[in-house]
Structure 1
């Protein structure tokens, strides 16, 4: 949902409605007002963003459920948190698996030839 601000201007005795314009970013008379949430946030804000306590957020960072803070700061990247939550929730595809390994896993059932060879080798004592 986009927030809208109503802007008016006053000239003399009359007041004129200029427009309803989006709140972020809002270009107004040569000046930029940014009302969007900042991308970086501290531990308290990051925990609130996730809907958990600060101590739980710290535990999740320590156990690698959440990304670490940006090196040299005490700030977390909102997008990194979103990506980690997507990963935990299963919203991202698992493209890390090698296509050949995936094929072997999916087709790991023994073929008739392999069964015959196994039985033959068992009879031979191999």
Structure 2
């Protein structure tokens, strides 16, 4: 078990070294979006909701952090399991939100999957 832990730890350390600037940009944009939402910017024209912020984070993760469809499908599965857990516990409001986030991740993962499979196949 410790062997797998060290392998994963080394992989994450190397990945974070390679993506340090992208991680900084990702976190800065996320913080700015949350601050703009709490300040009420764009309120009458563009409702800056948490759902929109989560969707923007998924899209930024694809471009900045190099997430591919497998990572987004994994996030979808984790969010779906978390939503099921919240539903079982009885926290239905947060279960619905987690289900919406999982749907957003699934939609983006499906789009990336279709694009990647379309690019792999050569037209004949």
TM-score, reference length from structure 2: 0.21
Higher helix share: 2
Higher strand share: 1
TM-score, reference length from structure 1: 0.21
